[in-house]
A = this chain, B = another copy of it.
Amino acid sequence: MTGLPDALAGLRSARRAPADFDAFWRDTLDSAAHPLDPVFTEAPSALAAATVYDTSFAGSRGHRIAAWLIVPRPAPAAGPDRSAPVPCVVQFLGYGEGRGAPLDWLLWPAVGRAVLVVDTRGQGGANLRPGDTPDPVGVTHPQVPGFVTRGVLDPAGYYYRDAYVDAVRAVDTALAHPAVDPGRIVVSGCSQGGLLALAAAALHGRVAAALVESPFLCDVTDAARLPDRQPYRELLRFCQFHPQHVGRVLDTLAYFDGVALAERAACPALFSLAMRDQVCSPASVATTYHHYAGPKRIGVWPFAGHAEPNGYQRRAEVDFVAGVLGDR
């Protein structure tokens, strides 16, 4: 983990969040005050030292969001208080991924933390792992296939408004399980997952730490400069075919930008930045890091591309979480 190169050290965003950014999200969350209705169904699994709960909760608009909650059983040597609650990592997913199967999520239970792996509504099946959560929201304007332009003409109808509310309520779901220590919730994700982790950290008051890898949708101030790669390509195609809407698109995105979220987060965060990232540019990640309002560190990987497997960052995250939670 090296420091930020000089060229990235001074970057700051050229834009301020909309004046009503906080009001927008306050109103959004207020209007999503329906019961959480979490369901934790113990699922048979081959896991020897953890309990798996097939989980769901009422996300935005009351739609059910699927998740896996995996709770490690206390280690044999844990001593008398074997029913003590454990920390929980709420894991958000990259674009197109789904929650897959419990065997896909062994890292955090292996190091003694529960993990809540949360489907991103409608996704799963195009990338890596299937999901189990439909997106029952029909759209009100034609869009580029995918999720980035669903409802993008209006903040109130944008796909990510639902997704952020789902993310916040996923934290609520972790808090709702008796095996989880409510003071030790960590949010985590890469790319789209990093963005959702930022959203949860910014919009939920009880997050203890955030792990933010190569976050998507950060510092999007000029759509014309975005890379012609997925998922940004969806935005580019939409703007190309609807040039009259570019302004509205940017106005909508301003309520969802990772930079504005970062400015509103307070918990300690560990970022990662891949210098050869051709999707989420190093500049956009560094800018977001600089705006992040809580205590922070960053892993810079000069030879890595977007979302490439990185065992070193993984271990740094395990250590960072232990350090923040103070339990190792």
Contact = CB atoms under 8 A, between A and B. Distances in A.
Interface stretch (A18-26, A125-133, A206-214, A290-298): A125-133
A155 interface: no
Nearest to A119: B142
Main SS at interface, chain A: loop
B241 A129 contact: yes
Contacts of A106: 106-107, 110
Task: State the oligomeric state as a number of copies.
Answer: 6
A223 interface: yes
B237 A125 contact: yes
Interface stretch (A32-40, A194-202, A262-270, A309-317): A309-317
Contacts of A49: 49, 72-73, 75-76, 110, 112
A178 interface: no
Interface residues of A, number: 82
Contacts of A112: 46, 48-49
A165 interface: no
A54 to B, nearest CB: 15
Contacts of A156: none
20 contacts: A46-B112, A49-B73, A75-B76, A76-B82, A103-B107, A103-B318, A122-B139, A125-B237, A125-B238, A125-B242, A126-B237, A129-B241, A130-B142, A134-B143, A136-B139, A137-B138, A145-B146, A224-B302, A243-B301, A246-B302
Q: Which 7 A-B pairs have the closest CB atoms?
A: A136-B138, A48-B112, A240-B303, A224-B302, A106-B106, A130-B241, A145-B146
A123 B149 CA distance: 12
Nearest to A112: B48
Given A103-B318, A126-B237, A134-B138, 16 more contacts: A46-B111, A46-B318, A48-B111, A48-B112, A49-B110, A123-B142, A124-B142, A125-B143, A125-B144, A125-B149, A131-B142, A133-B142, A134-B143, A224-B302, A239-B303, A240-B301
